[in-house]
Structure 1
Amino acid sequence: MPMKMHILSGGRLRMRKAIYYPHAAPAETFELPVSYILLRHDRGNVLFDTGCHPDIGKDPIPRWGDMARFMTPVMTEGDHVLNSLACVGLSPDDISHVVCSHLHTDHCGCNQFFTKAKIYIHEAELAAARAPDGVQMGYLPTDWDHPMPIEPVADGHDVFGDGRIRLVHLPGHTPGAMAALVRLDRDGLFLLASDAVSVRANLDDNFAPKNTWNVEKCLASYARIRDLEQRGATVICGHDNAQWRGLRRGADYYA
Structure 2
Amino acid sequence: MERYQRDKLWLNCWGGHFMAQGLKVTAVDCGPLKLDKGIFVTGASGLISAPSTVWIIEHPKKGLILFDTGINYNVADPEAAEKHWGPGMRDAFGCQMTREDAIDRQLIKLGYKLDDVKYVVLSHMHLDHAGGMVHFPNATFVVQKDELRYAWWPDSWTRIVYCLNDYKESRGYNFLELEGDTDLFHDGTIKLISTPGHSAGHQAMLVRLENRGHICLAADSAHLKEAYRNSLPMPYDWSTEKHLSTYTKLRTMENAGIPIYLTHDQKDFDEFPKNGEWAD
TM norm structure 1: 0.93
Where 1:222 maps in the other structure, the secondary structure is: helix
Pair 1:234–1:29, CA change in 2 (3 A): same
Structure 2 distance, partners of 1:108, 1:88, is 21
* 2:256 equivalent to 1:236: no
| 8 Å CA contact retained: 2:183, 2:190 | yes
Q: Deviations over 1:115-163 (max 9, x none)?
A: 2200011111012112375883532222123121112112222221101
CA distance in 1, matches of 2:212, 2:155: 42
Q: Which amino acid counterpart does residue 24 of structure 1 have in structure 2?
A: A
Contact 2:42 2:233 survives alignment (8 Å): no
Partner of residue 219, structure 1: 244
C-alpha contact 2:263 2:269 (8 A) present in aligned 1: no
More off after superposition, 140-149 vs 209-218: 140-149
Normalised to the residue count of structure 2, the TM-score between the two structures is 0.85
CA offsets per residue over residues 93-116 of structure 1, 9 Å max, x none? 001000010001110101011122
2:213 counterpart residue number: 188
List gaps (5 residues or longer) in structure 2.
1-20
CA gap of 1:115–1:141, structure 2 versus 1, over 3 A, is same
* Letter of the structure 1 residue corresponding to residue 66 of structure 2: L
Runs of 5+ consecutive residues of structure 1 not aligned to the other structure: none
- The verdict on how the C-alpha distance between 1:51 and 1:132 changes in structure 2, with shifts beyond 3 A counting, is closer
Contact 1:87 1:251 (8 Å CA) reproduced: no
1:128 and 2:145 correspond: no
Q: CA–CA distance in 1 between the matches of 2:40 and 2:159?
A: 21
* Residue 252 of structure 1, CA deviation: 0.3
Partner of 1:61: 82
Q: Which residue of 2 aligns with 1:139?
A: 162
Question: For residue 39 of structure 1, what is the aligned residue in structure 2?
Answer: 57
Which residue in 1 is equivalent to 2:4? none
Residue 112 (structure 1) aligned with residue 131 (structure 2)? no
Structure 1 match to 2:110:
88
> What code does the residue aligned with 1:2 have?
G
Q: Is the 8 A contact 1:191 1:236 kept in 2?
A: yes
Secondary structure at 1:83's aligned position in 2? helix
Supply the distance in 1 between the matched residues of 2:182 and 2:226 (Cα, whole angstroms).
Answer: 28
Q: Is the 8 A contact 2:30 2:51 kept in 1?
A: yes
Q: Separation in 1 of the partners of 2:93 and 2:68?
A: 18
Looking at structure 1, the residues matched to 264 and 257 of structure 2 have their Cα atoms a distance apart, in angstroms, of 21
Aligned to 2:14: none
Tell me which residue corresponds to 2:12. none
Moved more, 157-166 or 174-183: 157-166
Q: CA RMSD in A?
A: 1.7
Give the letter for the 1:48 counterpart.
Answer: F
Give the distance between the partners of 2:180 and 2:160, measured in 1 at CA.
Answer: 22
Which structure has the larger Rg? 2
Q: Structure 1 residue 87: deviation in Å?
A: 2.5
Query: Which residue identity is paired with 2:141?
Result: I
Mapped contact 2:27–2:269 kept (Cα < 8 A): no
Distance 2:155 2:249 in 1: 29
Contact 1:181/1:190, CA 8 A, preserved across alignment:
yes
Which is worse superposed, 138-147 or 106-115? 138-147
Identity %: 28
Is the alpha carbon distance of 1:242 and 1:132 closer, same or farther for their aligned partners in structure 2, counting shifts above 3 Å?
closer
Q: 1:157, 1:132 → 2: CA distance?
A: 24
Structure 2 counterpart of 1:20, one-letter code? F
Residue identity matched to 1:61 = E
Q: How many residues align?
A: 253
Q: Which residue of 2 aligns with 1:70?
A: 92
Match of 1:97 among 119, 122, 131: 119
Equivalents in 2 of 1:79, 1:121: separation in Å?
24
- What does residue 254 of structure 1 align with? 279
